[in-house]
Amino acid sequence: MTARDALGAALDALTAAGCDTPRLDAELLIADALGVDRGAMVADPGMAVPGSAARLIGERVRRRVAREPVAYILGRKGFRRIELQVDRRVLIPRPETELLVEVALELPIGASVHDVGTGSGAVALALLDERPDLVVSASDASAAAVEVALANTARLAVPLEVVVARGLPESKEGMVLANLPYVREDEWSALGPEIVRFEPREALVSGADGLDAIRELVAGAAPGTRLALEHAPGQAEAVRALLADSETRRDLAGRERVTVGVAA
């Protein structure tokens, strides 16, 4: 069997399963199983697929047909300049969350920043990678997520303290960044199968209007604390109303995504 044969079969199976990006997914899964760069495989589709790789590809394609996200199948996801290990204990980092990192990149040299709801550690670790001068810490209500963030911290060999805590841990100083859950209860079942079947519900859903976790965080922050909060575009006005001196940043698609302001 060649890579071309494997790609053709995988493309058919993933298309029939309703995957949004079947060619990209097939290329990522197969190139990784062959231990080659995706571009190299696409440039040389006649490369041989050994039996062991063929079995691995078959197993991976079956998982993807069941709509498991590629990031969980491969066990990793790129975020800004770093690669994070991810599994079903944590949300797969999303491109829109880069905006939260960009807000913190504006901080002065040596500033302190705390990432609440860190999940895989994406925001805190990307920030430390790009701004090693900052004093960064992180926390998550989920002990399982903290295990993943600590594993990523060890692998990237950066100085990040990560603790289990709901809301903002006591005695944290500096700016607070948070990509907390903000999906409404009634939105959950309509989300894609990749999300509903595989991602942790508690990482995404937060009450009737999606803002329970954000409200709790703001209420627990000392007056004067500066926060940057990721939210859905339709929640921007409600989040601005929770903070003083608030302004909302837009993502590359022009959607209101991160509100920055001060706890009153």
Ligand X SMILES: C[S@@+](CC[C@H](N)C(=O)[O-])C[C@H]1O[C@@H](n2cnc3c(N)ncnc32)[C@H](O)[C@@H]1O
Task: Decide: is 261 part of the binding site for ligand X (CB under 6 A).
Answer: no
Is 120 or 225 the residue whose CB approaches ligand X more closely?
120
Task: Decide: is 141 part of the binding site for ligand X (CB under 6 A).
Answer: yes
Separation between Cα atoms, residue 206 and residue 202, nearest integer Å: 7
Least distance between ligand X and beta carbon 6 (Å)? 31
Of 142, 225, 235, 248, which lies in the binding site for ligand X, with binding defined by CB under 6 A?
142
* Residue tagged 């859905």 (tokens): 232
Separation between Cα atoms, residue 92 and residue 45, nearest integer Å: 30
Of 203, 205, 242, 260, which lies in the binding site for ligand X, with binding defined by CB under 6 A?
203
Torsion of CA 13, 17, 21, 26, to 10 degrees: -30
CA angle 189, 77, 186 (to 5 degrees): 15
Length of the chain equals: 264
Task: Decide: is 99 part of the binding site for ligand X (CB under 6 A).
Answer: no
Task: Decide: is 85 part of the binding site for ligand X (CB under 6 A).
Answer: no
Separation between Cα atoms, residue 167 and residue 184, nearest integer Å: 19
Least distance between ligand X and beta carbon 251 (Å)? 14
Task: Decide: is 120 part of the binding site for ligand X (CB under 6 A).
Answer: yes
Helix segments in 22-134, DSSP class H: 22-34, 38-43, 51-65, 70-74, 98-105, 122-130
Task: Decide: is 179 part of the binding site for ligand X (CB under 6 A).
Answer: yes
Task: Decide: is 181 part of the binding site for ligand X (CB under 6 A).
Answer: yes
Is 68 or 147 the residue whose CB approaches ligand X more closely?
147
Q: Name the residues that contact ligand X, by CB under 6 A.
A: 90-91, 93, 97, 116-120, 122-123, 140-142, 145, 166-167, 179-181, 202-204, 213, 216
